[in-house]
Structure 1
Amino acid sequence: MTAVASKGASGGATDGGGVGSLAFVTMTVGDLRLALPMSSVQAVIRPPELVRIPLGPPGLEGLAHWHGDAVPVLDLATALGREGGAPATRETRVVLVEHRGQPVGLRVDAMAGILRSDPDRIDPVTAEDGGLDPAMLDGLLRDGPATILKPDVLIDRQFGDPGESDRTAGAGGSVGSLGQVAGPGNDLSAGAKAAGVIDRLALLVFEVAGQEFALPVERVREVLPAPREVARMARSRAHLLGVMSVRDRLLPLVGLRALFGLDGAGEQGAGEQAAGGQALGRRVVVVRPGQGQAPVGVLVDEVREILRLDAAQIDPVPPFLAREAEFEDLDGIARADGGRRLVSVLSAGRLFRHGAAIGAGTGVDGGSDGMEPARPADAGGMAGRAERFVVFSLAGAEYGLPVAAVREVLRRPDSITPLPNAPDFVSGVLTLRGEVLPLIDQRRLLHLPAAGGGAAPGLARGRVVVVGHDGADAARVGLLVDGLSGLVTIPAERIGPAPAVSAAQRRLIRRVATLETAGAARLILLMDAESLLDMDRLAGLLVTHR
């Protein structure tokens, strides 16, 4: 990374410049040589990894994670009306400028350097220079030669008027027609009780060795990518994999394959202990503790869905099996899909006991709601104010909805009934327990590329996220997404306003979470549930975006 410190453009010059000279950062874009005032440049960096943000202008390449901020990155060539999208080279850089209080990245072909020039060596723009709109230009440097850009004008033309949006959400809780604010302790079961759905239990379903297991959503703190390395504890049993680091705290890790003797557990258990290549591509379900109990991580193969079942659909473990030691970790057997699927419901309390067996020799105990005993420097840590989100994947990016807004997450149906005269982002309807549910194709809604593989729109493998609320004015929709990432608890300080790139985006995606997970940057785009429930307003909003 090459950092460029910001200085006042009219400040005194050094390195050969006159007392009144101005400083500029110069760069190349195609056949253009351009300059930006040094005062507007925060840094110059190598191209970072990008997360695509939908409903943006053509020149927007995506969001980058930079020093805890979610930074939109524009392809400068496209923004200037030139042919953009050129492959990155060793010389490609991203110039970070400040725009209306937030950093914005401009992708350029190469850096030319830093140039100082006296004001009398800067000529005015009298006509289009190099085919560029003069309104975006601030002069011509004779000593470059280079064309000076007005970054604010250029960025405003890409993102539109920042004042034409509903800013009620800001950086705080997202309040929608659900009448609830996603916040501490606001989980699916709590949301269901507030809506009068007391007898239905929300279960997070995951797969291990081809078998389905579940935990109550209210006992799941979050779902994380599996670590590349696990610190194995000496002389522990095969299913006690060791500990992993989560945000500088220690999390005991239990392997269900070895615990339940699934799929060659001895051989697989050794792979899980090593955690090198075996654990890649899997998930860790972090089980919420009871009062005074430490969290426990459960290594699983895949997170499948969130189901809401009546209490009558969850049977106790048959007495004949309950006497066996290998079934003591089960709380019951759930009958889903009309009894065609049987899902083993795990006991969070007994999984805690397995985690405590690891903690006995590691300094991890149940003294706090963190990943290890709280230290004075980080007292409060993960026990501070946080929000919980259901996170799903779509076109290579991650999106989140407040957990109180999500009714359940289902497998995508094999067939969808078309709905005549519906907006093009509505794939059709399905019947869910006697209720007709409109299905929104999130790729069409957010103007993302269609799913590959040749599948018909809306029928590719994926999930349906059911969003809505109950009551007299009940409204629900199903969102077609690529997959379910799981539940994530996000500290409030890691959530901020999403960069404003268009009116439609500002309405649908108001906030963004910037996280560090397993040593890698992670951006989660947080959607507004209320906007997804108002179909007429949604259609009108997207018409204005076209």
Structure 2
Amino acid sequence: MTAAMRRGDEAAARLIVHAGARRFALPASQVRELVRLPRLTKVPLASAGLLGLAQVRGETLAVLSPLVHDGASHHPRQLVVLDGAERIALAVDMVERVTHDDDSATTLDIDELVRTVSPPRPAARRILGSGARTTASAARDERLPLLRFTISDQLFALPLDEIVEVLNVPQVAPLPGADDAVFGLIAWRETSLGVLSAASLLGLHRAAVTAQSRVIVVALGSHRFGLLVDRSDGLLRASSDRIDPIPPTLTRSDAEARIRAICRPENGGPLVSILGADHILAEAQTRRLLVTAQQSHDATATADASNNRRFIIAWIGEHRFGLPIEAIEKIAPRPTLVTSIPRTPAWLTGMAAVSGEPLILIDQVLRLTDTPATGKAHMIVTQIGRQRIGFLVDEARNLIIAPAGALSPAPVPETLAGGIYGDALHFDDDAALVIIDPVALMSSAEHALIESLGNA
């Protein structure tokens, strides 16, 4: 057999796959590899043919269903990764065999399938780092971004640039004989991380760990350590005139000396004590606790911190997103007093007074999933044009940091939901984390509606 004949034979080979009750054949030459179906990240507002995004060998792929024309559901177990410039894979129930002469299977036109779902484009619009900064965003950047959290029913905060990540409390290995302030060790980013009890360090009551408890990964020089807190209360931006130093007469005890400053929130709420990584531990304790907790130097985190990006993890229904910190003014609980607006869409919850200014509330959970946000919803405050908007989401507590090089354009159609999906990030559990811009969540018609309400 000549080389030309062999190439022709390979081109004629077809891969037979099963999806639901149907058998499909596709050119074997277009198949790059076959893998088990990984965890899928669903994309709200996507067509039925786009099942979600998947991570395969560090690459984010758009996963399509071959039953898009039938409207039938199936239970895929395998992924057929297609070759080519567009990052596409097919979800199938079973791969049968490679053959040359099976005419009973339906030939699958991959190009037509992609056109039906609306093809992913390699040059998807990138949200992060694109576009000119607005005056409003520049003004926000001048304020100190803080992560607010609760310890023993008291409000504290840490500057965002001293925080590496905020985690749910994972499995903890205790350290027998360690200082009372040492909570234990956790597995974090391929290493062990010592976790300290913030309550013990501050001389407060150490509450039991609950589902709301969080571990804040703090940077102290070249070291990283975890700080156990009762609850993370979201992002707060404070102007310099709202931050007061601690009076010298109040810094007599060790616990009080660990407070760097006091923040007076703009809405007149309770005072927030600002901590600092260099203030949390007393000098005599710093070396001993860091050694006891087996701190490790994280060279990758300090190699090029200027290229790192921070994201708040938000849940909208069953969907998890990353929201760029620079797009968020603050995160706060849902306002209790809301004035409804007649003759507006159901997702436009109403208006509320926040920090002494009117704020339009939009239920993004209802808008993207047709399910109203729960009573425990969080509010993400951002700015659209001249209007301050509060987006209601189910959850917005955790924070992650990632190098800019770990982001890649999400393989979803630019036309999908007005192009709100920008980048995809490889996350902790082999699932893709889609990065969205809160401002881009609003369509042009919705922008006009919000603008008209603000003018009224």
Deviation at 1:448, TM superposition (A): 1.4
Report the Cα distance in structure 1 between the residues aligned to 2:131 and 2:254, rounded to whole angstroms.
Answer: 47
Deviation at 1:238, TM superposition (A): 1.6
* 2:339 pairs with 1:345: no
User: 3-state SS of the aligned residue for 1:81?
Assistant: coil
Q: CA RMSD in A?
A: 3.6
Report the Cα distance in structure 2 between the residues aligned to 1:34 and 1:338, rounded to whole angstroms.
Answer: 61
| Contact map agreement 2:17 2:23 (CA 8 A) in 1 | yes
Deviation at 1:475, TM superposition (A): 4.0
Q: Aligned match of 1:115 in 82, 98, 123?
A: 98
| Contact map agreement 2:315 2:393 (CA 8 A) in 1 | yes
Report the Cα distance in structure 2 between the residues aligned to 1:35 and 1:355, rounded to whole angstroms.
Answer: 64
One-letter amino acid of the counterpart of residue 258, structure 1: S
Report the Cα distance in structure 1 between the residues aligned to 2:20 and 2:58, rounded to whole angstroms.
Answer: 31
* 2:328 pairs with 1:406: yes
* 2:18 pairs with 1:35: no
Deviation at 1:429, TM superposition (A): 2.0
Aligned to 2:369: 448
One-letter amino acid of the counterpart of residue 217, structure 1: L
Report the Cα distance in structure 2 between the residues aligned to 1:260 and 1:484, rounded to whole angstroms.
Answer: 26
Deviation at 1:442, TM superposition (A): 1.3
TM superposition score normalised by structure 2: 0.82
One-letter amino acid of the counterpart of residue 239, structure 1: A
Report the Cα distance in structure 2 between the residues aligned to 1:169 and 1:502, rounded to whole angstroms.
Answer: 10
Aligned to 2:199: 257
User: 3-state SS of the aligned residue for 2:413?
Assistant: coil
Aligned to 1:127: none
Pair 1:161–1:215, CA change in 2 (3 A) = closer
Q: Aligned match of 2:126 in 169, 172, 179?
A: 169
Aligned to 1:323: 252
* 2:150 pairs with 1:150: no
Aligned to 1:239: 181
Aligned to 1:438: 360
Q: Aligned match of 2:445 in 531, 536, 541?
A: 536
Pair 1:95–1:177, CA change in 2 (3 A) = same
Report the Cα distance in structure 1 between the residues aligned to 2:303 and 2:231, rounded to whole angstroms.
Answer: 28
User: 3-state SS of the aligned residue for 1:12?
Assistant: helix
Pair 1:53–1:382, CA change in 2 (3 A) = farther
Structure 1 stretches (4+) deviating beyond 6 angstroms? none
1:173-188 residue pairs with structure 2 within 5 A?
A: 173-175=129-131, 177-178=133-134
Report the Cα distance in structure 1 between the residues aligned to 2:131 and 2:447, rounded to whole angstroms.
Answer: 17
One-letter amino acid of the counterpart of residue 108, structure 1: V
Q: For structure 2, which runs of at least 5 residues remain unmatched after alignment?
A: 450-456
Aligned to 1:137: none
One-letter amino acid of the counterpart of residue 323, structure 1: R
Report the Cα distance in structure 2 between the residues aligned to 1:362 and 1:196, rounded to whole angstroms.
Answer: 37
Deviation at 1:459, TM superposition (A): 6.2
Aligned to 1:357: 288
- Cα deviations across residues 30-51 of structure 1 (Å, max 9, x unaligned)? 3311122222223333332222
Pair 1:536–1:506, CA change in 2 (3 A) = closer
Pair 1:279–1:69, CA change in 2 (3 A) = farther
Aligned to 1:248: 190
How many pairs are equivalent?
444
Aligned to 2:311: 389
One-letter amino acid of the counterpart of residue 223, structure 2: A
Report the Cα distance in structure 1 between the residues aligned to 2:88 and 2:37, rounded to whole angstroms.
Answer: 13
Report the Cα distance in structure 2 between the residues aligned to 1:398 and 1:379, rounded to whole angstroms.
Answer: 24
| Contact map agreement 2:378 2:395 (CA 8 A) in 1 | yes
Report the Cα distance in structure 1 between the residues aligned to 2:294 and 2:16, rounded to whole angstroms.
Answer: 54
| Contact map agreement 1:334 1:345 (CA 8 A) in 2 | yes
* 2:39 pairs with 1:80: no
Report the Cα distance in structure 1 between the residues aligned to 2:120 and 2:241, rounded to whole angstroms.
Answer: 54
Taking every aligned residue pair, what percent have the same amino acid on both sides?
Answer: 27
* 2:232 pairs with 1:295: no
Report the Cα distance in structure 2 between the residues aligned to 1:538 and 1:319, rounded to whole angstroms.
Answer: 50
Deviation at 1:387, TM superposition (A): 1.3
Aligned to 1:62: 52
Report the Cα distance in structure 2 between the residues aligned to 1:527 and 1:514, rounded to whole angstroms.
Answer: 15
Deviation at 1:151, TM superposition (A): 1.7
Report the Cα distance in structure 2 between the residues aligned to 1:346 and 1:254, rounded to whole angstroms.
Answer: 14
